[in-house]
DNA sequence: CAGGAATAATTTCTGGACGGAACTTAAATT
DNA sequence: AATTTAAGTTCCGTCCAGAAATTATTCCTG
């Protein structure tokens, strides 16, 4: 009885009750918690908590560990419950037009291994086969999550510009090819989910995530859940006008946010053909031309942040992405842009700038798999029961 | 047993279980339904349905009635359950700077009586007293809802520009003065809720409501719930730029959406000092100056619609308000604005133009009271359990 | 027109999950 | 040793799902 066979990672996810999933999620997101605290947060009775945590501890998903801080008072100290990350591992995949990035994380979304390789083909079947090959090199995986820059609705890639895909049922295909539960979503949506579950936005009721990279992306959390377009379209603000004359944009107008912020437009405005890193160096060296391009981009970013904050009044705006050096270089202009756009007390706007590594994208893919596994969305390709769609009870809609 | 004393309206709301509230809500929003259909939609067992509907029918909230369409097939016909609107009545109040509008509705939000009177004072205590006086003329009311154009957070009016209020605990005050459960919210938020519960957006998972009046307002429904700012700020898009040179706006810039759309700015641009109705007549008579002002306003409205749709990709955009003649007169320009702004397939955008009467505002106040009563938010001034704030399970988070 | 067939609704039973109360055990501080 | 706080346990009542039988009401068919 005391020597259980569950010490090593099992690759099959246990059958958890609704409550058990809630408890696991709570510990996953809000860090080590005592049973009493979980019971209080989830409004569960002590007997239920005891019963549920017993299942989770026996199943190896939770372990008792030391408290971070000894909770100053007298009395018996609480037994803090931690998620045993090693219990399960997930594969996250990020697809770009040229490469396939893969990251294996444990259950706590902590990266364990990262690789990347050239994409051999853009053909959906070939890409699926390549994902399956990568997955085969990581035995013992519990689930797969794929993040890509396209329009995704229920695992169907409705449109992907760079891969030239239309209506590719990627989720079903990857799941079939690997035999593993699979989740697929837009990369910015995945990143937003990752920040909301495991990042500095953990557990917030509302948040906006803005990524700056080759382009800009926006993700929104409202009422504790990701905003998913009814047609799979993620939120896009990128052609909102900045209010200053600016470069020509792909949408046909001048002065869109994205025209100021897209890397290739910024670089095109500089003499020579500098790389992004070279352009940054020029700014640091005091080149006035580069300075102006980056200042304007910073201002446009500020306008974007202010606009997003006007729309959802989030608890926090999270700024991240591999274009973050822009913020470091032009933060004054970013804040000018926010000041000219955000219509309320600037003290209400909490801007959180979060360092970013490109491997975050693949990690976000893994988070998709973790989320789908814990919430049980992943069991099969079922999408039938999506819309009961009664209005819920506003701010008290918790459960 | 068969002659029950509950035939006349009782003013006290019965103590309903969670499930009973869900069932009532379902019938309220999706119209007459059979028990089997409710059970299917709410994923309840037949025994539970029988038990719950018995309570609701005995309590007078539901009645059995005829089906709208006989559901062609063979077999015993379903007993359609209707909400017995007459069971309860609610008072909705809309406050403007000068007047107090009041509408009494039944439980189905159908207006029963409407009055309005001048506001005697702007002093919070005086306004509360006046509301209480109005309420006293409608005995047998179950709850009160107040809608006003200010920033409202949990019944506290944080800011109201026209009444010059700051941090007025209106909900508690009205509740104390009348002895009745009270709900208070921003007027546009209230209107959005009303359209989502009883209007053409009934039960949608996502929707945007745009009101055109003296100004413009926006309300959003995402994941089946109203988007409420974390600091009580409703969504505002009104100073987004239209991309054409335009009139000076109060925010200091030119060409904001609101500068094109605010009635007083539109009228200021016309020679003489026409009223809104006169200006409309001029447009209809072919006056080119008036024509241009309205065309530009229409275009700005289109930009607003497109921008909102870009942000949340809603199932439906609902356009309403007492400035709706603008749409009738300049609909081509509205659609031009949408076309220039909305970035996706225009077929995805369902625009629903809904006629509007000023009494809608007060009716929306009544809907606030209905909503709060049914969801149980109204019992006392409790606001403690607002934020359990775990991330919920995305699109499957229903229940 | 009588007798299926079909569909709706109720009832009864069983079993599981949960909450609340009250008690016990455990582990720390004072 | 007393106090304090955390956690487990037991008992009981409630709510609900699922299964199966029953009753109710219609249409259809011969």
Query: Closest residue by Cα to the C1' atom of nucleotide C11?
Result: B47
Spatial contact of A236 and A219, defined as CB atoms under 8 Å apart = no
Q: Is the pLDDT score of B311 beyond 50?
A: yes
CA angle A228–A230–A235, rounded 5-degree value: 45
Task: Return the minimum-mean-pLDDT range out of B7-11, B24-28, B74-78, B81-85.
Answer: B7-11
The neighbouring-strand residues paired with B141 are: B89
**Which protein residue lies nearest to nucleotide D24, measured between its Cα and the C1' atom?**
B76
Least-confidence region, from B203-207, B247-251, B277-281: B247-251
Strand C contacts (Cβ < 7 A) comprise A 17-19, 43-48, 51-52, 74-77; B 34-37, 46-47, 49-50, 53-54, 71, 73-80
CA nearest B193: which of B33, B382, B361, B378? B361
B310–A243: do the CB atoms touch at under 8 Å? no
Whether B377 has a pLDDT exceeding 80, the answer reads: no
Instruction: Tell me if A209 sits within 8 A of A219, measured CB to CB.
Output: yes
Residue with the larger pLDDT of the pair A393 and B221: B221
Cβ within 8 Å, pair A375-B395 = no
pLDDT at B95: 96
DSSP labels, B108-128: T--EEEEEEEE---S-HHHHH
Mean pLDDT in residue range B160-165: 91
Look at residues A7, A345, A201, A340 and name the one whose alpha carbon lies nearest to residue B159: A345
Q: How far is A280 from chain B (nearest CA, A)?
A: 30
Burial B92-123 (b: 16+ CB within 10 A, else e): bbbbbeeebbbbbbbbbbebeebebeebeeee
**Strand D and B40 CB separated by under 7 Å:** no
- The partner residue sitting opposite A240, judged by closest CB among B240, B312, B392, is B240
* Residues B165-184, mean pLDDT to the nearest whole number: 95
CA–CA dist A42, A324 (Å, integer): 37
B332-358 mean pLDDT: 92
Strand duo B80-83 + B62-65: pairing? antiparallel
> B173: helix, coil or strand?
helix
- Mean pLDDT for chain B overall: 87
Positions of strand D less than 7 angstroms from a protein CB: 3-11, 15-20, 24-28
H-type helices in B256-341, by residue range? Answer: 257-261, 263-268, 276-285, 288-312, 325-341
Q: Which of A131, A390, A171, A106 is nearest to B43 (CA)?
A: A390
CB-CB under 8 Å, B204 with A392: no
Residue A133 to residue A87: CA distance in whole angstroms: 23
**What pLDDT shows up at residue B5?**
38
Q: What is the pLDDT of residue A248?
A: 74
Edge-to-edge strand list for the sheet holding B62-65: B33-34, B80-83, B62-65
Tokens of residue A29, six digits: 């997101």
Cβ of B390 within 8 Å of Cβ of A203? The answer is yes
pLDDT single digits (tens) A117-132:
999 999 999 999 999 9
Instruction: Specify the pLDDT at position B381.
Output: 37
Task: Look up residue B10 and give its two tokens.
Answer: 């009782």
Q: Is the separation of the CB atoms in A101 and A361 below 8 Å?
A: yes
Q: At B18, is the secondary structure helix, strand, or coil? A: helix
- Count of C-beta atoms within a 10 Å radius of residue B58: 12
Read off the pTM. 0.90
Lookup: tokens for A325: 């050096």
pLDDT of the residue at B391 = 65
pLDDT at A392: 61
Could you say which nucleotides of strand C lie within 7 A of any protein CB atom?
4-13, 17-22, 26-30
**How many Å apart are CA A20 and CA B54, to the nearest integer?**
33
Distance A373 CA to D9 C1' (A): 32
d(CA B39, CA B26): 10
Tokens representing residue A135 in the block? 């997955």
> Which three-class secondary structure state does DSSP give residue B25?
helix
Summarize the confidence of residues B30-50 as an average pLDDT: 90
The predicted-structure confidence for B84-113, as pLDDT tens digits, reads as follows 999 999 999 999 999 999 999 999 999 999
In terms of Cα–Cα distance, which of B232, B350, B305 is closest to A312? B232
Going from the C-alpha of B247 to that of each of A38, A283, B276, B293, the distances in angstroms are 56, 37, 18, 10
Residue with tokens 């803005």: A210
Contact (Cβ atoms closer than 8 angstroms) between residue A59 and residue A97:
no
Q: Which two tokens stand for residue B94?
A: 């809309």
* Whether A182 contacts A91, CB under 8 Å: no
Coil, helix or strand at residue B226: strand
> How many Cβ atoms are within 10 Å of A268's Cβ, its own excluded?
12
Which of A198-207, A241-250, B136-145, B236-245 has the weakest average pLDDT?
A241-250
User: Which of B224, B228, B388 has its CB closest to that of A389?
Assistant: B224
| Cα separation values, B97 from B121, B148, B164, B251, B382, Å | 9, 9, 9, 22, 29
Q: How far is the CA of B75 from the C1' of C3 (A)?
A: 15
Q: Is the pLDDT of residue B384 over 90?
A: no
Determine contact, residues A345/A88, Cβ cutoff 8 Å.
Answer: no
> Shortest Cα distance from B313 to chain A (angstroms)?
5
Contacts of B274 (CB under 8 A, 6+ apart): B267, B282, B290
CB half-sphere exposure, A187, CA atoms < 13 A: 24
User: Three-state SS for A265?
Assistant: helix
Cβ contacts of residue A15 below 8 Å, gap of 6+?
none
**Cα separations (Å) of B96 from A30, B184, B239?**
44, 14, 23
Secondary structure (3-state) at A280: helix
Residues in chain A, pLDDT under 50: 1-9, 379-388, 394-399
What's the pLDDT score for residue B394?
47
Give the dihedral of Cα atoms B3, B6, B9, B13; nearest 10 deg.
Answer: -170
Owner of token pair 């199943």: A59
User: What is the full DSSP assignment across B326-344?
Assistant: HHHHHHHHHHHHHHHH--S
pLDDT for B320 beyond 70: yes
d(CA B310, CA A238): 9
In terms of CA atoms, which chain B residue is nearest residue A28? B390
B200, two tokens:
């053409």
Q: How far is CA A62 from CA A7, A48, A51, B122, in A?
A: 12, 16, 13, 58
- pLDDT category, B72, cuts 50, 70, 90? low
Residue of higher predicted confidence among A390 and B172: B172
């Amino acid at each position: 009885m005391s020597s259980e066979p569950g010490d090593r990672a099992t690759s099959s996810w246990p059958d958890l009750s609704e409550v058990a999933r809630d408890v696991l999620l709570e510990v996953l997101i809000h860090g080590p918690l005592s049973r009493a605290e979980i019971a209080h947060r989830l409004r569960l009775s002590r007997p239920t908590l005891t019963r549920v945590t017993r299942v989770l501890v026996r199943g190896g998903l939770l372990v008792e560990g030391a408290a971070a801080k000894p909770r100053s008072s007298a009395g018996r100290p609480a037994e803090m419950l931690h998620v045993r990350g090693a219990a399960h591992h997930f594969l996250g995949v990020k697809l770009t037009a040229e490469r396939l990035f893969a990251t294996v994380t444990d259950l706590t979304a902590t990266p364990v291994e990262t690789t990347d390789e050239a994409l051999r083909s853009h053909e959906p079947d070939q890409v699926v086969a390549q994902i399956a090959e990568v997955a085969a090199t990581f035995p013992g995986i519990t689930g797969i999550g794929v993040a890509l820059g396209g329009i995704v609705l229920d695992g169907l890639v409705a449109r992907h510009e760079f891969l030239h895909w239309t209506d590719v049922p990627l989720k079903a295909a990857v799941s079939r090819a690997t035999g593993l539960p699979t989740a697929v979503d837009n990369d910015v949506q995945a990143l937003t989910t990752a920040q909301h579950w495991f990042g500095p936005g953990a557990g917030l009721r509302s948040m906006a995530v803005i990524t700056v990279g080759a382009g800009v992306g926006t993700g929104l959390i409202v009422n504790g859940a990701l905003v998913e377009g009814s047609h799979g379209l993620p939120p896009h603000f990128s052609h909102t006008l900045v209010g200053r004359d600016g470069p020509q944009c792909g949408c046909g107008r001048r002065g869109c946010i994205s025209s100021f912020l897209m890397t290739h437009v910024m670089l095109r405005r500089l003499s020579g053909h500098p790389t992004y890193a070279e352009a940054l160096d020029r700014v640091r060296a005091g080149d006035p031309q580069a300075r102006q391009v980056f200042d304007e981009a910073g201002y446009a970013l500020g306008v974007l942040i202010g606009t997003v904050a006007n729309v959802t009044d989030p608890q926090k705006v999270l700024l991240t992405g591999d274009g973050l050096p822009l913020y470091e270089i032009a933060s004054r202009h970013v804040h000018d842009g926010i000041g000219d756009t955000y219509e309320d007390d600037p003290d209400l706007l909490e801007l959180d700038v979060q360092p970013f590594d490109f491997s975050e994208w693949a990690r976000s893919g893994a988070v998709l798999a973790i989320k789908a596994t814990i919430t049980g969305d992943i069991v099969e390709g079922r999408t039938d029961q999506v819309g009961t769609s009664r209005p819920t009870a506003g701010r008290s809609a918790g459960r």
